[in-house]
Amino acid sequence: MHKVWRVIKWIIFCVGGLLAIDLAIVIFFGIYRPQIQPSDDIIVLGAAVNTPAAFNRSQQGLKLYEDGLAKAIVVSGGIDYPRGQSEAEYMKQAILANTAVNPPIIVEDKSYSTYENLANARALIGANSSIIIVSDDYHLARAVLLAERLGFKKVYWSAPSSSYYSHDELAYYYFREVFAIIDYLPKFVTGR
């Protein structure tokens, strides 16, 4: 019986350690910002239509474009409600309504996950593209690691201020993202 408890303690310690490392990775990408260099494209990852996340992500992508950091913006995200507007179309309209310029916008509206956002965008712009990923802080680790695994030439990342989330909402999203990264481990390994 003593050996069984020792094995159980060892398993709990290992799982706890892996979760702590996972959380540290999520927090690192949420806090750290690379020095963004001019890139080929900005990929704005989808969020539910008519939410602060979708609007603020689109505006962050627009800001990066207006700062001259990319040649085009890719808005990504499918339809999350029957007969609804796609996340990508919503973000495109949010960009066009808030700029005097007419940025080149590529609409990727077939995706329903972070993996599909990036894989479908890669099919549209090519893997040899250098990109800037725009999403919320808590989502960046999974998105950046996946983009690098999918073979984009160079990956930078940015996020709008998360001031539109309460502290409880942010804690929930960071916690959820730890388990999303675990769920994505096969995709990180295989690229599919």
pLDDT at 171: 94
Q: Which amino acid is at 134?
A: V
Task: Give residue 75's identity as a one-letter amino acid code.
Answer: V
pLDDT at 1: 72
Burial 22-42 (b: 16+ CB within 10 A, else e): bbebbbebbeeeeeeeebbbb
Residue 55, classified by CB atoms within 10 Å of its CB into exposed (0-12), middle (13-18) or buried (19+), is buried
Looking at this protein, which amino acid is placed at residue 38? P
pLDDT of residue 105: 98
Please give the pLDDT value at position 28.
96
3-class SS shares of the chain: helix, strand, coil, % to 5: 55, 15, 30
Q: What is the pTM of this model?
A: 0.94
Output the pLDDT for position 80: 78
Token pair of 41 as six digits: 């494209």
* Positions of the chain with pLDDT lower than 50, given as ranges: none
Tell me what pLDDT residue 84 has: 85
Helix (H, G, I), strand (E, B) or coil at 156: strand
What does the angle CA 159 – CA 123 – CA 108 come to, to the nearest 5 degrees?
A: 55
Q: What pLDDT, on the 0 to 100 scale, is given for residue 2?
A: 80
In the chain, what are the domains? 28-190 (3.40.50.620)
